[in-house]
Amino acid sequence: MKFEPHEYQSYCINYIETHPISVLLLDMGLGKTVITLTAIRHLIFDTHEISKVLVVAPLRVARDTWPQEIGKWDHLKNLTFSVVVGDQKTRIAAANKQAMVYIINRENIKWLVDYCHSQQKWNFDFDMIVLDELSSFKNYRSQRFKYMKLIQPYAKRIVGLTGTPTSNGLMDLWAEIGILDQGQRLGRYIGRYREKYFIPLKEDPVRHIVYSYAIRPGAEEEIYSLISDITISMRAKDYLKMPECVSTTCEVQMDFDEWEMYETLKDELVLSLRDTSINASNAAALSGKLLQMANGAAYDSEGDIVEFHDRKLEALEDLLESANGQNVMIAYWFRHDKDRIIKHLTKIGYKPREIRTSVDISDWNEGKIQVALIHPASAGHGLNLQQGGHILIWFGLTWSLELYQQTNARLWRQGQENVVTICHIVCSNTIDEDVMDALAGKNATQERLISAVKARLR
């Protein structure tokens, strides 16, 4: 695919190329990965300033997103890469592979440093480092922070990518900026940073413990000024020509066994399991069952839920992390999708809440709900939800163009002050792709999807 960058993307590419240290605060869907890869390509092939790059990202982003982006765009075809994830044997082989870009998950930074030590490669020979989701380095006590701080001086260039770097307040910035510039801008010690810019808000004077801090008057502007020479934000509408609404796709894939079960149901209209079975009596029923399986679970012949995979739940978790504390709305289609989403997100610390009542709507618009769930059929005409957030994630797709557009319009409407990001989690090589094609073709009727399903039958 040919890459034709928007004006803001060209600006970001040039910014990375002209700044040895750069922090890009990019909203979801604005193309931070292709922006960074394009800059890397220029620096390798055009200016010859670098030759070996280390990309550090969340596991699934490292494993899937970065390789997919390299393979997606025509101008990146010459970029060789190696994904350093998996068991130790796999990581060692990947680390020793000849490549230009090495992509590793952040949990393995310590392993990589130790491995370089053991191989007497402490020169580290990475001349550029990219930290995807810079906010994951906000804990200066973590291993990933300490080991990244050790290797950062060996790189000539470093890039930090994130959506919102201060989800827990400006205190986070000390570690996030410090991991890039070794404390040049905000100081080398967290204690002095606190004393200079913050006031104790809640403390135990007897035990000398401070539980929370408040920013000093004028300190916020001073902090922003100190980091302004290395930082740009893509949310300032008066600064960049931003698209009013950005639509993105997050692809997931089933493994071989899951794919075989999906194909069996598609071809034979029945899937026999150990204790139950899943049946599709006709093409319309089959389209529903296949959509369920693409989402990760389906109702069996008795109406009970059979779970197949967590691919979309894992992708949802990554997307929420990249939103970095911003309020997010999740659209679901099947009831078991909602139940599984709530269970999974609750387990990892979120408090998802379904938008159903006027109180829910009010709380969402007042910013009191970080993760909201909504069913397209309940989105309704004229329901105003644009005050509470600007990110919508489609966990499960609908064949109804009307419901799809109306749900998007809950956030993408007059009065919305931010660029709206609509992300679709799509299971590759499944009926999800037919739904996306139908929606894109403005012809999302049930008959269209039934025809698509029939065309897949052997």
Rounded Cα distance, 292 and 300, in Å: 11
Residue for token digits 């510039």?
181
- Using alpha carbons, select from 453, 448, 350 the residue that is nearest to residue 393: 350
Q: Are strands 270-272 and 277-279 parallel, antiparallel or unpaired?
A: antiparallel
Q: Torsion angle, CA of 251/51/82/107, rounded to 10 degrees?
A: -80
Structure tokens given for 282: 């006709």
Q: Which residues contact 231 (CB under 8 A, 6 or more apart)?
A: 22, 23, 25
pLDDT for residue 351? 93
pLDDT for residue 438? 80
pTM: 0.66
Rounded Cα distance, 151 and 123, in Å: 9
pLDDT for residue 219? 87
pLDDT for residue 137? 92
Q: Domain ranges in the chain? A: 7-233, 245-251+309-456, 256-307
Q: Is 7-233's fold the same as 245-251+309-456's?
A: yes
Does the domain spanning 7-233 belong to CATH 3.40.50.10810? yes
- Using alpha carbons, select from 405, 356, 394, 358 the residue that is nearest to residue 378: 356
pLDDT for residue 212? 77
pLDDT for residue 58? 86
Rounded Cα distance, 17 and 8, in Å: 14
The whole-number mean pLDDT for each consecutive block of 10 residues of the chain, a chain of 458 residues, reads 88 94 80 94 96 91 87 94 94 92 94 80 78 90 92 93 69 91 93 90 75 84 87 55 74 88 77 63 77 88 83 94 92 94 94 88 91 84 76 91 81 78 93 86 41 33
Q: Which residues contact 246 (CB under 8 A, 6 or more apart)?
A: 27, 28, 29, 30, 419, 420, 421, 422
Rounded Cα distance, 114 and 120, in Å: 10
Angle between helices 283-295 and 256-268 (to 10 degrees): 170
Q: Are strands 128-132 and 101-105 parallel, antiparallel or unpaired?
A: unpaired
Q: Which residues contact 221 (CB under 8 A, 6 or more apart)?
A: none
pLDDT for residue 364? 92
CA atoms within a 13 Å half-sphere pointing along the CA-CB vector of 17: 19
Q: Which residues contact 34 (CB under 8 A, 6 or more apart)?
A: 3, 9, 69, 72, 73, 76
How long is the chain? 458
What does DSSP assign to residue 216?
Answer: P
Structure tokens given for 87: 């068991």
Residue for token digits 């910014």?
15
Strand arrangement, sheet containing 53-57: 81-84, 101-105, 53-57, 128-132, 157-162, 21-25, 231-233
Distance (Å) of CA 140 to CA 111, 149, 173, 188, 445: 18, 10, 11, 11, 52
Angle between helices 431-440 and 283-295 (to 10 degrees): 100
Q: Torsion angle, CA of 443/246/393/450, rounded to 10 degrees?
A: 10
Residue pair 397/360 in contact by the 8 Å Cβ criterion: no
pLDDT for residue 379? 67
Rounded Cα distance, 354 and 346, in Å: 13
Domain 245-251+309-456, CATH number (from 2.40.110.10, 3.90.190.10, 3.40.50.300, 3.40.50.720): 3.40.50.300
- Using alpha carbons, select from 40, 122, 129 the residue that is nearest to residue 80: 40
Residue pair 192/183 in contact by the 8 Å Cβ criterion: no
